């Protein structure tokens, strides 16, 4: 059992017969600090207590965080392995389940080759587990087909940052500095709902006079109080960013010294942005000229600004372009690498940052090493104790894996910590692909929509039943403590992967007694890489409220701010983005005359597999809805609460209407946390960004049909 | 208890963490006692939290025929005492803010007690502890006075006045615990 501590001088209510275990929330990238209340007699989780001393969130939590503990002892938990027999799940022993997996996996690999198996990971788990997923696929199963749900979440941000700054750390500054920022430019982020505890920093800055500019088709809680709300059309971010940069150059807001000294491509950028006059930009984006001009002046005049973006800008076929262009806005103003200024993406998943750094991606190895780099392959092979020739080649991205299932290249799949039949775009296609599989194993602690399709379901533990580290929205590595022992026969994912690897004859590479040993291996594996964790230890995390990577040496305190002197590109200079506006893959037409965009609500997390089982959250938001402007509702003669049918080229759904003026008149919005008939991802577009292979969840053309009574 | 509950409605982001947290308080029987409402969702996403005002001379206690609603030395108006409450619901009608709720199963009223088991030890109530936007705060009297003065002061700073169609106007003035003139 891990150490329990409550800081000195901080008053917390500790009830009789209970103890508090200090940890973090399991949900989004904010990774809010919290104490979990444990009954000392029964050793059961009984509640939550705010962690006032956690530096980033100061005791604050959103409703998901407050109720997170309720998933630990939940009646829906899977307590024993399940094997599907005659279409029904039957409880079995671990022995029987592992026997079956071993037999099937070995059969498939001997008949169809090593690459007939595949692994689909997730990043809502610790660094230790995420790291091990990569090793499990490549060493344990020896397959090249490995990818993870972060492909839908962070890959465009990663692509854009790597292109412009040479390194992908979600935030170039620690967020505790945000209260000193003078201007926030937020694009495609409903941060009040998706990262509620970040709001304290924005409001605190606003109290001091900071300006907020929000680009979003909806008037979100942040857009409502923004100094300028740029109500752009979905899929037009690159035009907006180019338009703002056009004005920055025109009105001499460019930090010439900084750009000259630290950036490439300024002349090319100037040339590209020349045509993006406010009028031209306005025509593409649908934002009025006055607002664009006002935003550019506010942003240009602010001495310290942070450009921030999230899935709204990233989940597009131009996601990488959008990220690069928004990042370039910060570069033109000379902001990156300075106090209280810089650029940041809002990490959606709990460990979206750490989970994408250590080799769960089809083409990456731990420490952000490239699988195509022979030196990286040699180094990691050394750490893993394998022959470099045995290292599998790069595979394909998450959504492309389903195509390979359909054409029978992939015949077996192990899904770990993800629910792709809800969270993928165009899920009718994904369902078909999953049903084509010869053998599907799912590790989860609730029976998700994906797990329902499985041949074997392995009971994993919740976040409170295992120790480890995650890397939060800022790039700060933090400590998740084990609160209670695993429920029933459930096991942490690292044990499950090690057991299967053992069965596949690779047990000697997976000899771990506790997560700390995996972390020590990860530290070594990441050493010398871009995401260098070598200097991060559990002790250091506890001592100094987390450690920011890179921390390249054992005595290195970590790097709260990055790019202070130079960028991580080869020549140390940032590459300004020179990208034209391309437009989304699907545009509205006569048949599909409206825009559809998707997103989250504050009460649910990702595919909703956890939050849809929590009483309070379901009371607040039991079902999806379609948000539309009253003017649009009037044209289609639909009323608030009335069910309507939404149809795209890929599927349809019936969903109740929610009328509000806080959305563009030509855009519909549906949250994506539900599965099957309630899933908006039946409708979404699977068009991929050419670089990041991220699907265009945020833009598609849709038809609205009034149902006959 | 020397602390003040301080509400700033326009900071509210409608996440309802305060309601989820209210259920977590030890004496709250997993039922929330506070409210978060949209001012008018058709117009805007503006929401506001509503808590018991802990009135000095509370209407709920005054109209209680059974003297079931007690007021602590610190001035906290507690839920009806289980052994005294006769379930007449007078309090739910009497309160000008519509705060007390009624449990039809147990046939008794329940309301915000400012997490008395926390606040009597100067630990912030659950709602104020978790509120991500500081719309609900539990602060010292001096800090409260300072915040009020700053509201007026900030109106003098260019750009702090409500703009973009005066969206802040959606917060009804009569809810304002603060006094400033936003013209």
Other C-beta atoms closer than 10 Å to the C-beta of B93 total 12
- CA closest to A620 among chain B residues: B16
Q: Which residue of A has its CA nearest to B156?
A: A209
Stated as kind and residue range, the H or E segment containing B6 is: strand B3-7
Contact A170, A344 (CB under 8 A): yes
Q: How confident is residue B167, by pLDDT bands cut at 50, 70 and 90?
A: very low
- How far is it, in rounded angstroms, from Cα A395 to Cα A123? 18
> Given an 8 Å threshold on Cβ–Cβ distance, is B24 in contact with A603?
no
Answer yes or no: is pLDDT of B178 > 50: no
- In chain B, which residue's Cα lies nearest the Cα of A198? B132
- The CB density around residue B126, as the number of other CB atoms within 10 Å, is 31
d(CA A372, CA A352): 23
Q: How far is A266 from chain B (nearest CA, A)?
A: 32
pLDDT over 60 at B183, yes or no: no
CB A552 within 8 A of CB A504: no
Residue A246: alpha-carbon gap to chain centroid: 31
Q: Compute the nearest-CA separation of A414 from chain B (Å).
A: 35
User: B147: pLDDT confidence band, cut at 50, 70 and 90?
Assistant: confident
Q: Mutate which of B25, B45, B117 to test chain A, going by most A C-beta atoms within 10 A? A: B45
pLDDT of A385-406, one tens digit each?
999 999 999 999 999 999 999 9
Q: Are A703 and A652 spatial neighbours (Cβ–Cβ below 8 Å)? A: no
How many angstroms from the chain centroid is the CA of residue A504? Answer: 31
Distance between CA atoms of A186 and A423, rounded to whole angstroms? 24
Is residue B159 scored above 70 in pLDDT? no
Q: Would you give the distance in Å from CA A156 to the centre of its chain?
A: 11
Chain A residues whose CB is inside 8 A of the B157 CB are 209
Residues of chain B in contact with residue A630, where contact means CB-CB under 8 angstroms, are 42
Q: Are A699 and A588 in contact (CB under 8 A)?
A: no
- Work out the number of other CB atoms within 10 angstroms of the CB of residue A19: 16
For A229, which of B46, B131, B164 is closest by C-beta distance? Answer: B164
Say yes or no to pLDDT of B170 above 50. Answer: no
User: How many Å apart are CA A701 and CA A488, to the nearest integer?
Assistant: 47
Contacts of A220 in chain B (CB under 8 A): 45
Inter-chain residue contact A204 with B134, CB threshold 8 Å: yes
Alpha helices (H) along A527-582: 538-543
Give the total residue count for chain B.
183
ipTM rounded to 2 decimals: 0.94
What is the spatial distance between Cα A388 and Cα A512, in angstroms, rounded to a whole number? 22
**What's the rounded Cα separation, in Å, for the pair A115 and B142?**
68
- When pLDDT is averaged across residues A510-517 and rounded to a whole number, the result is 97
pLDDT above 90 coverage of chain A, percent: 97
Mean pLDDT of all residues in A601-606: 98
Best CA proximity match to A165, nearest among A576, A694, A580, A532: A576
- CB-CB contact of A645 with A615 (8 Å): no
Least confident of A208-217, A219-228, A267-276, B159-168: B159-168
Unique residue bearing structure tokens 């009804």? B172
Lowest mean pLDDT among A1-5, A222-226, A671-675: A1-5
Contacts of A198 in chain B (CB under 8 A): 132
Q: Which residues of B touch A67 (CB under 8 A)?
A: 20
Q: How many CB pairs under 8 A join A and B?
A: 121
Contact assessment for residue B103 and residue B87, using Cβ atoms and an 8 Å cutoff = no
Compare CB distances from A66 to B117, B130, B163 and report the shortest one's residue: B130
Q: What does DSSP assign to residue A17? A: T
Task: Read off φ and ψ for residue A301, nearest 5 degrees.
Answer: -80, -20
Per-residue model confidence as pLDDT tens digits over A389-448: 999 999 999 999 999 999 999 999 999 999 999 999 999 999 999 999 999 999 999 999
Interchain contact, A192 vs B11, CB within 8 Å: no
Residue keyed to tokens 């050493």:
A527
pLDDT at position A384 over 80? yes
pLDDT value of position A64: 98
**Per-residue pLDDT for A599 more than 80?**
yes
Quick check: A50 and B19 CB within 8 A? no
Q: Give the closest-approach CA distance of B48 to chain A in angstroms.
A: 12
Nearest by CB: A221 against B13, B131, B157:
B13
What CA–CA distances, in Å, run from A50 to A38, A172, A246, A396, B91?
A: 14, 28, 46, 42, 32
**Do residues B80 and B91 make contact, with C-beta atoms less than 8 angstroms apart?**
yes
HSE on the CB side for A230, CA within 13 Å? 34
**pLDDT tens-digit series, residues A185-214:** 999 999 999 999 999 999 999 988 899 999
Q: Give the pLDDT confidence score for residue A603 in this predicted structure.
A: 98
Residues from chain A contacting residue B126 (CB–CB below 8 Å): 50
Q: Which range has the worst mean pLDDT, A217-221, A338-342, A533-537, B163-167?
A: B163-167
Q: Tell me which residues of chain B have a C-beta less than 8 Å from any C-beta of chain A.
A: 10-11, 13-17, 19-21, 23-24, 26, 41-46, 117-118, 121-124, 126, 129-134, 150, 154, 157, 159-160, 163-164, 167-168
The pLDDT score that the predictor gives to residue A677 is 97
For residue B116, the chain A residue with the least C-alpha distance is A13
Residue from the list B16, B23, B134 with its beta carbon closest to the beta carbon of A203: B134
Report chain B residues whose CB lies below 8 A from the CB of A61: 17, 21, 130, 132
Tell me if residue A495 falls in helix, strand or coil: helix
A699 CB-near residues (< 8 Å, 6+ apart): A234, A235, A316, A584, A585, A586, A595, A596, A597, A685
In angstroms, rounded to a whole number, what is the distance separating the alpha carbons of residues A684 and A695? 9
pLDDT value, residue B177: 39
Q: What is the DSSP string of A36-90?
A: EEEETTT--EEEEEE-TT-TTTTT---HHHHHGGGGTT-TT---S-EEEETTEEE
What single-letter DSSP state applies at residue A511? -
- Residue A156 CA to residue A689 CA, distance in Å, equals 8
For residue B122, the model assigns a pLDDT of 87
Among A47, A40, A93, smallest CA distance to A72 is for: A47
CA-nearest residue to A213 within chain B is B164
* Tens digit of each residue's pLDDT (9 = 90 or more) over B113-146: 999 999 988 899 999 999 999 999 999 989 998 8
Nearest CB partner across the interface for B132, out of A199, A228, A659: A199
Report chain A's terminal Cα–Cα distance, integer Å: 59
Closest CA to A172 of A335, A350, A298, A367: A335
Tokens found for residue A3: 């150490």
Strands A305-309, B47-50: pairing is unpaired
- Judging contacts by C-beta atoms under 8 Å, the chain A residues touching residue B11 are 203
Predicted pLDDT of residue A6: 63
Q: Which candidate, A620, A522, A484, A675, places its Cα nearest to that of A71?
A: A484
Interchain CB distance below 8 Å, A52 and B129: yes
Rounded Cα gap, residues B80 and A377, in angstroms: 69
In this predicted model, what pLDDT tens digit does every residue of A314-324 receive, in sequence order? 999 999 999 99
Residue B181 pLDDT exceeds 50:
no
Partner-chain contact B122 A11, CB within 8 Å: yes
Give the pLDDT score at B27: 81
Cβ distance of A659 and B42 shorter than 8 Å: yes
Parallel/antiparallel/unpaired status of strands A700-706 and A667-671: unpaired
Which pLDDT belongs to residue A708? 85
Q: Which two tokens stand for residue B4?
A: 């003040």
A197 chain-B contacts, CB cut-off 8 A: 132
Question: A535-594 pLDDT, tens per residue?
Answer: 999 999 999 999 999 999 999 999 999 999 999 999 999 999 999 999 999 999 999 999
- Comparing alpha-carbon positions, the chain A residue that sits nearest to B168 is A225
The answer to whether A127 and A471 have CB atoms below 8 angstroms apart is yes
What is the percent of chain A where pLDDT is above 70? 99
Work out the mean pLDDT of chain A and round it to a whole number: 96
Cβ within 8 Å, pair A59-B44: no
Q: How far apart are CA A202 and CA A183, in angstroms?
A: 10
Neighbours of A90 (CB within 10 A): 12
CA A607 to chain centre: 12
Residues of A in Cβ contact (< 8 Å) with B35: none
Cβ of A50 within 8 Å of Cβ of B163? The answer is no
> How much is the pLDDT for A683?
98
CB contact under 8 A, B13 and A219: no
Q: Residue A177 — φ and ψ, nearest 5°?
A: -85, -10
User: Closest Cα to residue B140, out of B8, B12, B1?
Assistant: B1
pLDDT at position B38 over 80? yes
């Amino acid at each position: 059992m891990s150490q329990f501590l409550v800081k000195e001088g901080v008053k917390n209510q500790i009830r009789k017969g209970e103890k508090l275990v200090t940890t973090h929330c399991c949900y989004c990238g904010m990774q809010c600090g919290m104490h979990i209340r444990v009954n000392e007699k029964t050793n059961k989780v009984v509640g939550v207590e705010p962690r006032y001393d956690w530096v980033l969130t100061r005791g604050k939590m959103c409703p998901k965080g407050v109720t997170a503990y309720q998933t630990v002892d939940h009646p829906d938990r899977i307590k024993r392995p399940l094997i599907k027999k005659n279409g029904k799940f039957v409880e079995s022993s671990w022995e029987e389940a592992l026997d079956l997996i071993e037999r099937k996996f070995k059969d498939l690999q001997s008949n169809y080759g090593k690459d007939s198996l595949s692994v689909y990971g997730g990043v809502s788990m610790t660094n230790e587990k995420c790291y091990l997923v990569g090793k499990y696929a490549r060493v344990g199963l020896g397959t090249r087909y490995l990818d993870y749900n972060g492909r839908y979440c962070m890959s465009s941000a990663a692509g854009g940052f790597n292109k412009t700054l040479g390194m992908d750390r979600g935030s170039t500054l620690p967020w505790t500095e945000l209260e000193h920022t003078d201007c926030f430019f937020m694009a495609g982020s409903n941060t009040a709902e998706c990262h509620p505890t970040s709001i304290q920093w924005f409001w605190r800055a606003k109290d001091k006079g900071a300006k907020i500019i929000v680009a979003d088709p909806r008037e979100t809680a942040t857009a409502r109080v923004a100094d300028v709300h740029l109500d752009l059309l979905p899929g037009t971010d690159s035009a907006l960013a180019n338009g703002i940069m056009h004005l920055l150059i025109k009105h001499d807001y460019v930090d010439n010294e900084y750009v000259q000294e630290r950036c490439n491509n300024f002349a090319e950028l100037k040339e590209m942005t020349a045509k993006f006059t406010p009028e031209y930009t306005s025509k593409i984006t649908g934002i009025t000229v006055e607002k664009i001009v006002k935003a550019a002046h506010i942003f240009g005049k602010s001495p310290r600004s942070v450009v921030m973006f999230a899935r709204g800008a990233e989940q597009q076929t131009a996601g990488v372009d959008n990220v690069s262009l928004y990042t370039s806005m910060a570069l033109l103003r000379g902001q990156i690498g300075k106090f209280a200024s810089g650029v940041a993406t809002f990490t959606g998943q709990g460990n979206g940052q750490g989970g994408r750094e250590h080799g769960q991606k089809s083409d990456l190895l731990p420490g952000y090493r490239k699988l195509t780099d022979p030196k990286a392959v040699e180094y990691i092979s050394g750490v893993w104790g394998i022959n470099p020739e045995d290292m599998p080649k790069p595979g394909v991205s998450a959504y492309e894996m389903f195509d390979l299932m359909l054409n029978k290249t992939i015949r077996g799949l192990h899904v770990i910590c993800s629910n792709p039949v809800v969270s993928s775009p165009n899920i009718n296609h994904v369902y078909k692909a999953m049903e084509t599989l010869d053998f599907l194993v799912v590790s989860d602690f609730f029976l998700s929509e994906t797990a329902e399709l499985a041949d074997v379901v392995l009971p994993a533990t919740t976040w409170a039943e295992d120790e480890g580290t995650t890397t939060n929205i800022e790039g700060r590595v933090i400590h998740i403590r084990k609160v209670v022992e695993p429920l029933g026969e459930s096991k942490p994912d690292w044990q499950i992967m090690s057991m299967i690897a053992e069965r596949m004859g690779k047990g000697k590479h997976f000899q771990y007694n506790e997560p700390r040993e995996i972390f020590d291996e990860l530290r070594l594996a990441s050493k010398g890489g871009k995401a260098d964790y070598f200097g991060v230890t559990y002790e250091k995390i506890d001592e100094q409220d987390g450690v920011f990577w890179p921390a390249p040496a054992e005595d290195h305190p970590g790097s709260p701010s990055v790019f202070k002197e130079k960028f991580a590109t080869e020549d140390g200079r940032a590459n300004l983005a020179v990208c034209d506006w391309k437009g989304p893959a699907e545009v509205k037409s006569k048949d599909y005359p409206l825009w559809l965009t998707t997103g989250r609500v504050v009460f649910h997390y990702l595919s909703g597999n956890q939050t849809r089982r929590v009483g309070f959250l379901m009371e607040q938001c039991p079902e999806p809805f379609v948000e539309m402007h009253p003017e649009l509702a009037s044209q289609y003669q639909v009323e608030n609460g009335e069910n309507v049918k939404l149809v795209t080229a890929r599927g349809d759904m019936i969903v109740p209407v929610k009328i509000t003026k806080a959305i563009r008149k030509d855009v519909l919005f549906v949250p994506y946390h539900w599965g099957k008939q309630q899933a908006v991802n039946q409708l979404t577009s699977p068009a991929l960004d050419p670089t990041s292979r991220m699907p265009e969840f945020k833009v598609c053309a849709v038809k609205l049909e009034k149902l006959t009574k | 208890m020397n602390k003040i509950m301080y509400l700033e409605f326009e900071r509210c982001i409608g996440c309802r963490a305060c309601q989820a947290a209210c259920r977590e308080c030890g004496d709250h029987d997993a039922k929330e006692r506070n409210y978060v409402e949209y001012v008018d969702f058709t117009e805007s996403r503006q929401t506001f939290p509503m808590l018991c005002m802990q009135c000095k001379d509370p209407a709920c206690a005054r109209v209680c025929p059974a003297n079931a609603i007690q007021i602590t030395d610190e001035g906290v108006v507690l839920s009806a005492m289980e052994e005294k409450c006769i379930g007449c619901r007078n309090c739910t009608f009497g309160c000008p803010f519509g705060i007390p709720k009624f449990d039809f199963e147990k046939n008794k009223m329940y309301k915000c007690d400012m997490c008395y088991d926390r606040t009597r030890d100067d630990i912030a109530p659950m709602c104020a502890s978790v509120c991500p936007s500081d719309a609900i705060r539990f602060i010292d009297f001096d800090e409260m006075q300072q915040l009020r003065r700053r509201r007026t002061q900030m109106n003098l700073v260019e750009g702090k006045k409500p703009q973009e169609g005066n969206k802040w106007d959606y917060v009804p003035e009569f809810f304002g615990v603060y006094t400033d003139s936003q013209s």
